[in-house]
Amino acid sequence: MENNGKVLMQKYELGRLLGQGNFGKVYYARNMETSQSVAIKVIDKEKVMKVGMIDQTKREISGMSLVKHPNVLELFEVMASKSKIYFVMEYAKGGELFNKVSKGKLKEDMARKYFQQLISAVDFCHSRGVYHRDLKLENLLLDEFGVIKVSDFGLSALKKSRHQDGLLHTTCGTPAYVAPEVISRRGYDGAKADIWSCGVILYVLLAGHLPFQDSNLMTLYRKISKAEYKFPNWFSPEVCKLLSRMFNPNPKARISIAKIMADPWFKKGFNSKPVPRKAENEMAPLDVDAVFGSDQANVTAFDAKKDMAKLTNLNAFDIISLSSGFDLSGLFADNDEKKELQFTSMHTASTITSKLEDIAQRLKLKVKKEGGLLKLEGSNRGRKGSLAIDAEIFEFTPSFHLVELKKSNGDTLEFQKTMKKDVRPGLKDIVWAWQGEQQQQQHMHSS
């Protein structure tokens, strides 16, 4: 291992690689002063800045530093060098809870014990204004004593990101665990969405499989939005009752955490007083911006550039449905009558915009920006009026976009010919995959 034995900031000795993500690696390490085992997440600052993940990284730091609870993976400190950010975190020796369940369903008492710890953690996070938004088995780790540690606050939403109506508007999460209101892209209450995901986790612990699953994504959406699921016959009536209140598709009528904690099934053997963290572990409030230090100027420049294109949020589900194997084009129109084309791109919104402007210039089309749309309009009148194309950019992450090109005026045949002859070849440098065609690369997650 290239880092074995390497000493970081004269304090931590780095050991083996524990895992790898899009923007960095997680290593096992030892605090040389106290001999305490820790996990260190090393993030490449340049990569984070390049793809506009600064806000998400700051959110992760703020989210984790706000939450000190026995069932939440603790962040001990954050350090930064010129090129890297280091998160020093609690080391969860027991690995993912997912591995336990993959060997088979758990007994009711065991599942309840984990569920109680999960709900305690989530309740505490919500009281601090932190919503996780991506709760799933893979994000639940275990320490050496088998105690749950909720991890991965990369997607957590702090109250700051709420809109005026007090609802969250970014869509994220993992399809099978996500609440119906998140799919429908209406604003949603982060607390209620987390409760739905906790319900999915409890179901999986007891059943050994997911409540909502289907190889066809549209059918999966439908099942989630109508809360269509079945309880296995070994579920006790008390569990069924609790879960059906957690799986209420109407978030306003969904059970609250306080009511879950008052539920007789939940309360069985529950120790409601969590062990407080030791005071000496308290971290000084973090100056999150300071982590990015002297690079702050570049950060602002990047954000300003990104703001020029008004982006619409694209849902994680939509992205998955647009990846290979989920060709949903049949739902829209016959191929020979296609009035729209979609492609995904790993480039920033401003790169995509300038590429489309270049093509428009070559085709002598006028370019207008209108409420998040880029309108390309021709002047010569065809048999059905002049050709006009609307381009809309949907953001999944700042480095992963879906672009929809739609004929808004003119002849469909002329639109298709223009697409084939000029637009598609002109976009080839920035296209990752055209909707409905086998992907060139199979690494969905490099976004």
**Which of the residues are catalytic?**
134
Q: Give the separation between CA 225 and CA 206, rounded to whole angstroms.
A: 22
Strands (E), 242-325: 312-313
Closest residue by Cα to residue 8 from 80, 65, 91: 80
Closest residue by Cα to residue 354 from 363, 367, 342, 341: 367
| Residue 100 CA: distances (Å) to CA of 90, 141, 207, 313, 356 | 20, 11, 13, 35, 49
Q: Give the separation between CA 201 and CA 185, rounded to whole angstroms.
A: 22
H or E, element range at 326? none
Q: Give the separation between CA 222 and CA 150, rounded to whole angstroms.
A: 29
Q: Give the separation between CA 240 and CA 217, rounded to whole angstroms.
A: 26
41 is in an annotated binding site: yes
| Residue 186 CA: distances (Å) to CA of 55, 179, 427 | 22, 11, 32
Question: DSSP state, 345?
Answer: E
Which structure tokens are listed for 313? 């949020």
CB neighbours of residue 262 within 10 Å: 11
Q: Give the separation between CA 62 and CA 359, rounded to whole angstroms.
A: 42
Question: DSSP state, 188?
Answer: B
Sequence-separated contacts (24+) of 78-83 with Cβ below 8 Å: 78/286, 78/291, 79/8, 79/9, 80/45, 80/290, 80/291, 80/292, 80/293, 82/45, 82/293, 82/294, 83/44, 83/45, 83/46
Sign of CA dihedral 335, 340, 344, 345: positive
Q: Give the separation between CA 20 and CA 3, rounded to whole angstroms.
A: 14
Residue 32 sits at φ, ψ, to 5 deg, of -70, -25
Q: Give the separation between CA 230 and CA 250, rounded to whole angstroms.
A: 18
Interacting residues of 254 by C-beta distance below 8 A, sequence separation 6+? 192, 195, 196, 245, 246, 248
CB neighbours of residue 362 within 10 Å: 11
Q: Give the separation between CA 347 and CA 418, rounded to whole angstroms.
A: 23
Going by the annotation, the residues of the binding site for ATP are 41
